[in-house]
Amino acid sequence: MKSRACAPALKSAVRQAPLRARIETRAFSSTCPPAHMINVEDVTDFRRGRGDLIFSLFMVGVALFFLVFFFSQTGWEDRKLPANMARYWMDQFGLATPEGRVSRLGRILKQGWVAPLICLCILVPAAFWNLRGALRAQAWRVRFKQPTGVAYELTQWLRALEYVGWFVAYTALVPVLGYLVATLILGTALPWRLGYRGLRWFGICLAASFVIVLIFRTGLQIRTPANIWLYDQLPPAMETFMQVWF
């Protein structure tokens, strides 16, 4: 009796098996277009990586470097302070002039050491505050036996220095080959390094580089080095033309 009762269910399962197999193997396709929006939470989400401690120490070193050389490089030591300091500060902040007249704008804002001092007042405390957070994050990793290796992150930072080398090489080529040739070389070699290869991309990059030269050098007359080795090898008329327009 039990086998007879299970027979209809078994037959139904056998009939539905091919249908289920077709449904499971068929690729899913949605009629809704994919959303390419960026969540604000993903942009503002801040997480300290393993190498954050090294970066924070580096920024503290930079802030202290600027602080040490602030007094000798910004004109702070060359200030002339009068005997009447109250009247001096009133004059500097625009409260009154030495003759006693009210001034609209103090001269202190026009001195060269003011803007660096304001930047240092923000940079130095911010660098030490960030170092405090990095030390706390590092202590948390050590306490809970989390990975603390920084080799991968340091490698990624060092990889970015490659593009600094590209820019240095470009600036070194301009006095030798001229703005036109150096820009064409950089405009085609750098995209090739980034993976844009083939004749089609080579033509696009070459045309874009030439347009940049026409805009900045020919149109806007941006100044470039006068003595260019490649232009000196040309005939006088051609040399003058290249120096003026390219």
- Cα separation, 6 vs 10, whole angstroms: 6
Share of the chain above pLDDT 90, in %: 36
Would you say 133 and 48 are in contact if contact means Cβ atoms under 8 Å apart? yes
Would you say 178 and 184 are in contact if contact means Cβ atoms under 8 Å apart? no
Give residue-wise pLDDT tens across range 179-210: 999 999 999 999 999 889 899 999 999 999 99
pLDDT, residue 206, reads 94
CA count, 13 A, side-chain hemisphere, 202: 4
Question: For residue 111, what are the contacts with CB-CB under 8 A and spacing of at least 6?
Answer: 75
Give residue-wise pLDDT tens across range 106-163: 566 667 788 898 999 999 999 999 999 999 999 999 998 888 888 888 888 888 889 9
- Cα separation, 8 vs 68, whole angstroms: 90
Q: Mean of the pLDDT values across residues 41-45?
A: 67
